[in-house]
Amino acid sequence: MVENFLRENPLPPPESAKPSVVDELFDLAATRNLDTMLRKALGMVVRIVGAEAGSILLQTQSTHRLRAGVFRQEALSRIDRWEAVISKHLQDTVWTIPAALSSLPLSISNLAGSQLALVNIPLLQDTTVIGALSLVLSPGHELADPQRNLLTRMARGIGQLASLMSDLELAQQRLNQMGVFYQVGQALVTTFDINKLLSDTMQLAADVIDAGAASLMLIDEERQELVFEVSHGSRSKMLRQQRIPLDEGIAGWVARNGYPVIVNDARTDPRFSHRVDVRTGFLTQSIAAVPLKIKGRIIGVLEVLNKYSGAGFNQEDVRLMSSIAAQAAIALENARLYQQVRQERDHIIKAQEDVRRELARKLHDGPVQLLSAISMSLDHLERLNEVKPEAVHNEINALRNLVRNAMRDARNILFELRPIILETQGLVAALEEYVNQLRNTESFTVHFKTIEEVGYEPKVAGTIFSIVQEAVNNIKRHANARNVWILLELKNNRFLVSVRDDGEGFDVEKTDAGYDRRGSFGLLNMRERAELIEAELHIQSRPEAPNRGTTIQLILPLPPLSNLKPKS
């Protein structure tokens, strides 16, 4: 392209002190920055044409305006109006010039009241107009035909080179974005430190989008506020855990409406709130914000402030932010799930420890004590047989009773650990057997209301049985009750299980709040088990008379094809 240009437009021999046009053209082609290239090209055109001043408007992914020379006010005003009209036209429509035209349309107009002439020529990407080149000619300066041809060729070359460089810059920007996504993705699979992960993500967002600050805010549903969770920038420490009302500011608008927003002059936007700037001393000039969503639900806002480049935030920035917001949402969801799994693991370990402790207590207080008594009785029986054989018969009967009691206690423990009857006969039969055991072993009176067998699958039946067991175990440990009611009912195509006692009640809210200090998870275990089978669990308790005691009620839909009636 450079060789053709020079062959068709021979240049005078270069002066030794100045670079040749050939050098300048190669320098333009080697420039890597678009604004720098446009500045050099404009200076070159102004010098070659002999103009007083010149201006370039380029509108690709973003708008570029550069000027060279000294402008007279009337010329500058006219060029400003031209460029405003051209820019608006390029935003609204695609403007093309037929390829059949041998040269670009070049307009020359004289300024009224002065002898200045203004020249305007479009810049093209192939046949599409992407900007304009304007020149101010001194009084009496006219463009000869060779200069017109030279100017149109230079305008065409500048347009093509600018378009290519713009595409290269966009490709580099996309490559940087892919690097960001790669780094965030790597962090997602290598760390569960959510604060560090989100902090690094905010720094990457600010760097790639070329913004002065970035913040991630989460919605506090209960208080209807946005909470600054992670921030990057000069005032980030001051923003940590700061709160703003959900109905205030541009971020609040995004959180409520779920749409991205670009505001490149924050002070003129009626949604803008000065509250955070006043607290931190930060001066917000421009804002871009996108919603943070998990499974379609808005949980927060990602916001970047003060674009360093004068062009302001654009839709490409919003697309990048939306991708980063999606990554951040994945990180938050993963962290939540990870924390939930850890809590479940801790609960399982605690439940296993409770089961072991309870099993050890029952073995010690039941079968182990009885086996110890049997051992002592055998020793006594051996000595008795030597000194008083006639008394051996009575001792054997007593020993037989101890063995039976030991067998009964062992069976009871095995039943509580894994009631086989659940799998062979069903839930109601297992509860009936459990009630019979309670009546034989506990000091309180058990009242039982039953129904015909329900057809729950073993896993659901086992979970229901475990909840009833946990409720009764709590009564044993804490209630000091005289009566316990276990009621099975059918209402409105739902199965109801109630466990009620007349013992010492408790404050449900205080008990729930004190789990982490007491290390006991009885009620929590029941609630979690109820959630697993999609059942409702209601807990009511009164520590004072009248109606003192506790009621735990489990409600869940009947299994398919269940049409049962209470037993008579």
Q: Give the DSSP letter string of 436-452.
A: HHHHHH-SSEEEEE-BS
CA atoms within 13 A on the CB side of 203: 9
Same domain for 212 and 163: no
- Asked whether the bond before 291 is cis by omega within 30 degrees of 0, the reply is no
Q: Are 444 and 484 in contact (CB under 8 A)?
A: yes
Indicate the residue among 170, 185, 217 that finishes a domain: 170
Same domain for 228 and 125: no
Determine if residue 384 is left, alpha or beta; phi over 0 gives left, psi from -120 to 50 gives alpha, anything else beta: alpha
3-class secondary structure, 304:
strand
Same domain for 164 and 179: no
Task: Give the pairing of strands 483-491 and 445-449.
Answer: parallel
Provide the 10 A C-beta neighbour count for residue 391. 12
Tens-of-pLDDT digits for all 568 residues of the chain? 444 444 444 545 444 445 666 677 777 777 888 888 889 889 888 988 889 999 999 988 778 899 999 998 988 999 999 998 888 888 778 888 876 666 678 888 888 777 888 999 998 888 888 899 999 998 888 888 888 888 888 888 888 888 888 888 777 777 776 776 676 666 666 666 777 777 877 887 788 788 888 888 899 888 899 988 888 887 777 777 788 889 889 999 999 999 999 999 888 899 988 887 877 778 888 999 999 998 888 999 999 999 887 678 888 888 888 888 888 888 778 777 877 788 777 776 776 677 677 777 777 777 778 788 888 888 888 888 888 888 888 888 888 888 887 787 777 677 666 677 877 888 899 899 889 988 988 899 999 999 888 888 888 888 898 899 889 988 988 889 999 999 999 998 899 999 999 999 888 888 776 655 554 556 777 888 888 888 999 999 988 888 899 999 999 998 876 544 445 4
Same domain for 215 and 126: no
Q: Which of 395, 458, 380, 383 is nearest to 425 (CA)?
A: 458
Q: Are 37 and 31 in contact (CB under 8 A)?
A: yes
Dist CA 268 CA 252 (whole Å): 17
Residue 504, in any domain of the structure? yes
List the structure tokens of 156: 């065409």
Written as one letter, the residue type at 512 is: D
Alpha-carbon separation of residue 461 from 88, 240, 455, 456, 475 (angstroms) = 71, 48, 9, 6, 21
Dist CA 500 CA 24 (whole Å): 94
Total count of domains within the chain: 3
Same domain for 211 and 140: no
Indicate the residue among 120, 149, 170 that finishes a domain: 170
Residue 202's domain comprises 175-329
Same domain for 559 and 422: yes
CATH code of the domain containing 236: 3.30.450.40
Same domain for 188 and 99: no
Q: Are 429 and 488 in contact (CB under 8 A)?
A: no
Same domain for 557 and 487: yes
Task: Give the pairing of strands 287-294 and 297-307.
Answer: antiparallel
Residue 165, in any domain of the structure? yes
Same domain for 90 and 11: yes
